Structure 1
Amino acid sequence: MNHPFDRRAFLRLTGALGAAGAISAALGACSGPPSTTGGGGGYGSGGGDELTAVIGYGNDQSWDPTQTASAFTMAANCHIYEGLLDTDPITRAPYPALATAVPPDQTATRWAFTLREGATWHDGEPVTADDVVFTFARILDAEANPLTRSFFVSWLREVRKTGDRDVELDFHFPFPEAASRLTIAKIMPRHVFGREGAWEEAGAGLAVGSGPYRQASHQPKTNTTFEAYNGYNGPRPATFARMNWLSIVDAAPRVAKISGDGADAQIADNIPYANAEQLRGDGLTVEGGAGMNHVFLMFNTANPPFDDVRVRQALFHAVDTDQMIEVGLRGHGRAATSFLNEENPAHTEASTVYTYDPDRARALLAEAGVTDLSVNLMSVNVSWLVDCLPTIKESWDAIGVRTTLEPQETSALFTKMDQNQDYQVVAAVANPNQFGLDPDLILRYNYTAGGGWMAYTRWDESDDARALFALMDEATREPDPARKLELTHQYLDVIAEQAVLYPILHNELLTAWNPEALTGVRAQPYPGISLLQARPYTS
């Protein structure tokens, strides 16, 4: 049985609570001189060994790889830590990272791995099989119940040491998707994180891995710096001596850092749609990626009338999605036809699609016996979502639902949800593609019994929820790919019909970079950046 849901821990892992004070790498061997928050040594200033990046998300969230869903932290951890296998950031094809090979038979229920000879942690200690066993014990721990547990516990039975550099993974049933999913399990050093209180330190910013970059300094809300780890002997070595990642959540100063003759940074993510052409005119490359990034509505089903599926469906049908995409997103979006985005290989149109139909919305409210409804729509204050909120209000007002908008910082939003169990509807943004592409993984991020999001909906103990979770488990266990896909489509239909937590639209994310400073960059369809294959530009 899962450990009871800890809302405060959930806020930390999803990025809602910030760490207080500056955190530096705790082990002396991992420390280095902090870089400035400007780009003084960057390519824009004539240097040749430092990269400055601008990340449009906070760096003051959990740094624990078993817990975090923070865009900044997950991107950073991919440069600091390694899995047994890691995946290409775009195709998600697996490749050997700490392990020496991808298992040849991915339908087997026992996978054997040998660790890379000479692999060391950033403090110089050797990576051992004990570290692998330690990491997976944490992931599978029902008492700790970390975020990553839901991605593994259904199929992974046990991880055991068979030699100093050898481990075996035993599965409950064949699960070929494990090859790409193992990148989520970033291997962590037992001698560092096995200490009492170390998991709290990990959440607050301590990061010690075996990857090509080590964390040199960490100033929450400002920047995190990285240095190339000279002891790294893996497949994707560091290509920059130093990196300085600036955390700039507000759009205008983020754009200013990468634009104009005095640009301090060479790359930035989360580019506002309104600035794309301006940056292209400045000579920058601006490219997008369409994926699972979405705005969703989440209902408190313990607060009538939102326990009635017809009311939830009515509010989705009422939204003028085309106007939202045109006005709020400047065309960089697509109305949801399923929980999955249309580019996902498992996508098919759901049996319930929420087309803009105000007459249908009014009829559903009438069937539910709901009149004179007022809704306080709380939301996170992500800039592009805030641009979309007026359309929701206009749409709901038009069917007679008096709507108040309440955008706010994520921490404030979740605090109010904790303190006031009578909250009604929340609009927020998410992108489970940070973890991977397979639908089982994507849906388990939101739809897990006892998980964070389900606890907020207060729906997961209903009969409908239990039936859904059973269907999801059946799909996970199914060995035949065609039948697995059929079952996946069935549970996607259930999720669409129930509309408890469901996307209104999927939108494109934009990344900009200076092509005269960087090469090998690919725009991700999810927040953050990957620089493991980027190189300094040379003419």
Structure 2
Amino acid sequence: MAAFALAFLGINSLNRLTVQVPVHGGTYAEGVVGQPTYINPVIAASEADRDLVALLYASLYDLAEKIESEENGQAWKVRLKENAAWHDGQLVTSDDVIFTIEKIQDPESRSPLAAGWRGISAERVSEREIRFNLAAPYAFFEDNLRRLYPVPKHLFADIPLANWRLSLYNLEPVGSGPYRFTSSDTRRDGYITEYRLAANDAYANGRPYIDTFAFKFYSDEERLLQAFNLAQIDGVGGIEPSLLSRFRLRYQLLSLTAPRYYAVFWNGSVNPVLKDKNVRRALAQAVNKEELASAIFGGNAVVSYGPIPPTFDTFNAALAKDTSFSKEQAESLLENSGWKRDENGLRSKGSGASKAVIEFNLVVPQVPFLKETAEYLKTAWDAIGVKANVILLSPQDVASEVVRTRNYEALLYGNILSGNPDLFSFWHSSQRFSPGLNLALYENKTADKLIETIRQTGDQGLRVKDLETLQSLIVQDQPALFLYSPNYLYVATRALRGFELVSLVTPPDRFRGVERWYVKTARTFQ
């Protein structure tokens, strides 16, 4: 007993005199639904591609020692870190950066990044310095640098761009990121089951703590969940709230805010009834957005009131005070606007051939939380005499057939901002048609002018003031019913530490700071 007491006192003293610190070592495995095809920043096509790019390549922002704005934001100069190197040991230079941008801009690459680099030229200042020249000042250009992952010119320069998608470097990449490719497993039918990555000892931001990072690929969520519950993987990203109850092992839930919102976008050019602003206002008043967000996401979403998510510091907080749910007010607004209930209980106006009924088709991507949202909306609108016909389509068909052609009366869809309040792609009138993302086909000259000024001015005070005005203007025009901004959910074993993010822009951003993740610790004296 005395020996036990002494041992206990010794352990207790050790705990008081020491602290637990991260150490190098261990393995972490993440599960992903899908397959990698082009692990190449210029042509990455799938979510799996972009996830691996974020680990195997370093962004220009991370490779930069210094970033300077010149000429009121119309020119930017970047100086690379002296120790930035590719996984094969060669240094990252300005030639690699310029080469990457030229390939992104080349139409033959069909790069999904091309739109963000249109009208921008890059020139070599020295081996470690690049100057970017913009056609017009752009206040948010630093976000372009965060999204640019240079590729090694010495490996790709001699490959014709038409053959890039055939290159073995797309599946066995040589990057400059925190991890380097070591091996992969592929079934006889060609299905890739696993990628294994090793910590990059020469990473510009410091060697990662975790020695080995594995990616395991699954054909569906069912197999993914089973793998986690069998302790075959340690982390899963982008989880739907409805699936959380199916995780059997103890886990930690990391809920990250994201610059996105979901809304119903009205298209009055296809259904003239939706041109009536009072109809659109009544449809908004009939929806209890707080109840909707809580029912679907629990505490992992916030109500959205306008074109900028509430999580942004530039959000116009006054909008939240002006929005209220009231079925009675919605019905009263329709009644006073001449929309009376007909023999079928639907709101209508006129008679005979000129009779108009408030009925529309609502196109919805076949995603569980969006399907649940559509059912809630349909019930809320039924209560005020409005009929919504829900049309469920695959996300791929919605993107390629519906959004591209603007062939919808109403569309339940999401917008993802680039981490900054640049609303040009989503609300400027020049973006009403594909490839623009103005899904409400919104057109307002005052809004256009504000959007243009916001993205060009270097005056932060003026930008904030103009953003407040712009948000109020768009909300007053009612081009969409803004619903909610859900968080990005990441499930990990309780062994994972060092995950410091509280927000992200795109799913691969969860790996920002991955070099600080750790699963091994040791005690050291304070």
TM class by smaller structure: 0.7 to 0.9
Structure 2 CA distance for partners of 1:256 and 1:477, relative to 1, 3 Å: same
Structure 2 CA distance for partners of 1:358 and 1:65, relative to 1, 3 Å: farther
Instruction: State yes or no: 1:355 paired with 2:355.
Output: no
Instruction: Give yes or no for contact 1:160–1:169 (8 Å, CA) kept in 2.
Output: yes
Question: Per the alignment, in what secondary structure is the counterpart of residue 519 of structure 1?
Answer: coil
Compute the displacement of 1:344 (Å). Answer: 1.2
Which has the higher mean CA deviation after the structures are superposed, 477-486 or 62-71? Answer: 62-71
CA distance in 1, matches of 2:424, 2:395: 22
Counterpart of 2:499?
521
Question: Per the alignment, in what secondary structure is the counterpart of residue 127 of structure 1?
Answer: coil
| Residue 123 (structure 2) aligned to one of 160, 165, 169 | 160
| Residue 192 (structure 1) aligned to one of 143, 156, 164 | 156
Q: CA RMSD in A?
A: 4.0
Instruction: State yes or no: 1:408 paired with 2:408.
Output: no
Counterpart of 2:305?
337
Name the structure where helix makes up a greater proportion of residues: 2
The letter for the 2-side match of 1:158 is: S
The letter for the 2-side match of 1:439 is: P
Instruction: Give yes or no for contact 1:211–1:229 (8 Å, CA) kept in 2.
Output: no
Matches for 1:54-453 after TM superposition, within 5 Å: 54-55=31-32, 58-59=34-35, 65=41, 72-85=48-61, 97-103=62-68, 110-117=75-82, 119-122=84-87, 126-138=91-103, 148=113, 151=116, 158-171=121-134, 177-190=140-153, 192=156, 195-197=160-162, 208-214=174-180, 217=184, 225-228=195-198, 230=200, 232-247=202-217, 251-259=221-229, 262-274=230-242, 276=244, 279=247, 282-305=249-272, 306-349=274-317, 351=319, 354-362=323-331, 367=337, 371-417=356-402, 422-432=407-417, 435-436=418-419, 438-440=420-422, 443-447=423-427, 449-450=430-431
Instruction: Give yes or no for contact 1:59–1:224 (8 Å, CA) kept in 2.
Output: no
Structure 2 CA distance for partners of 1:457 and 1:234, relative to 1, 3 Å: closer
Question: Per the alignment, in what secondary structure is the counterpart of residue 538 of structure 1?
Answer: strand
Compute the displacement of 1:474 (Å). Answer: 0.8
CA distance in 1, matches of 2:415, 2:27: 31
Compute the displacement of 1:512 (Å). Answer: 1.9
Question: Per the alignment, in what secondary structure is the counterpart of residue 324 of structure 2?
Answer: coil
Instruction: Give yes or no for contact 1:121–1:189 (8 Å, CA) kept in 2.
Output: yes
Structure 2 CA distance for partners of 1:245 and 1:429, relative to 1, 3 Å: farther
Name the structure where strand makes up a greater proportion of residues: 2
Instruction: Give yes or no for contact 1:327–1:388 (8 Å, CA) kept in 2.
Output: no
Compute the displacement of 1:51 (Å). Answer: 2.1
Compute the displacement of 1:346 (Å). Answer: 0.8
CA distance in 1, matches of 2:85, 2:234: 30
Question: Per the alignment, in what secondary structure is the counterpart of residue 313 of structure 2?
Answer: coil
CA distance in 1, matches of 2:217, 2:287: 33
TM-score (norm 1): 0.72
Question: Per the alignment, in what secondary structure is the counterpart of residue 261 of structure 2?
Answer: strand
* Identity across matched positions, percent: 18
Question: CA deviation digits over 1:227-272, x for unaligned, max 9?
Answer: 236574411434444433345585554333323xx31111112334
CA distance in 1, matches of 2:290, 2:87: 50
Structure 2 CA distance for partners of 1:493 and 1:258, relative to 1, 3 Å: same
TM-score (norm 2): 0.74
Instruction: Give yes or no for contact 2:120–2:135 (8 Å, CA) kept in 1.
Output: yes
The letter for the 2-side match of 1:519 is: R
Structure 2 CA distance for partners of 1:104 and 1:505, relative to 1, 3 Å: closer
Question: CA deviation digits over 1:196-250, x for unaligned, max 9?
Answer: 2256569x96655322224555989865624236574411434444433345585
Gaps of 5+ in 2: 1-24, 340-347, 349-355
Question: CA deviation digits over 1:109-131, x for unaligned, max 9?
Answer: 55433333454445665433222
CA distance in 1, matches of 2:120, 2:294: 48
The letter for the 1-side match of 2:408 is: Y
